[in-house]
Amino acid sequence: ELKVEQNPLFLSMQEGKNYTIYCNYSTTSDRLYWYRQDPGKSLESLFVLLSNGAVKQEGRLMASLDTKARLSTLHITAAVHDLSATYFCAVGTWDNQGGKLIFGQGTELSVKP
């Protein structure tokens, strides 16, 4: 059974600081997704990582994937208050009937002035 674990689960950081959220998963997959959820809102797709060594960047967020280590990271550079949200990683798993995403617990990020 595929398990996806994120850490930390809660992260309080100051504006301007850097930090990394980690996502570990238990079985082989080459599709890793990052989502953002604001309170009371839907999940918004941030990144889709498709292969070992993939790196994607959007603004102050950068995501990477190491399929051999079964690890993805979401790096936050010079955090700003607008980045406060809950971040989820999800791992894709497929069989001949189709696919599904298994989500981590989420990391609740709070950026303080």
Partner 1 sequence: ETGVTQTPRHLVMGMTNKKSLKCEQHLGHNAMYWYKQSAKKPLELMFVYNFKEQTENNSVPSRFSPECPNSSHLFLHLHTLQPEDSALYLCASSSSALARISPLHFGNGTRLTVT
- Letter for the amino acid at 59? G
CB of 77 to partner 1, least distance (A): 23
Query: Which whole-number Å values give the CA distances from 59 to 76, 79, 80, 94, in the listed order?
Result: 9, 10, 11, 31
Q: Is 1 helix (H, G, I), strand (E, B) or coil?
A: coil
Q: Which of 48/71 has CB closer to partner 1?
A: 48
Q: Which of 80/102 has CB closer to partner 1?
A: 102
Of 63, 79, 106, 107, the one binding partner 1 (CB under 8 A) is: 106
* Buried-state track 50-85, b at ≥16 Cβ within 10 A, e below 16: eeeebeeeeeebbbbbebeebebbbebeebeeebbb
Q: Which of 39/113 has CB closer to partner 1?
A: 39
Q: Which of 65/90 has CB closer to partner 1?
A: 90
End-to-end CA distance of the chain, in Å?
41
Of 33, 72, 85, 107, the one binding partner 1 (CB under 8 A) is: 33
Q: Which stretch binds partner 1 (CB under 8 A): 17-25, 63-71, 72-80, 87-95?
A: 87-95
Phi, psi of 41 (to 5 degrees): -115, 175
Question: Interface residues with partner 1 (CB under 8 A)?
Answer: 4, 31, 33, 35, 41-45, 48, 50, 88, 90, 92, 94, 97-106
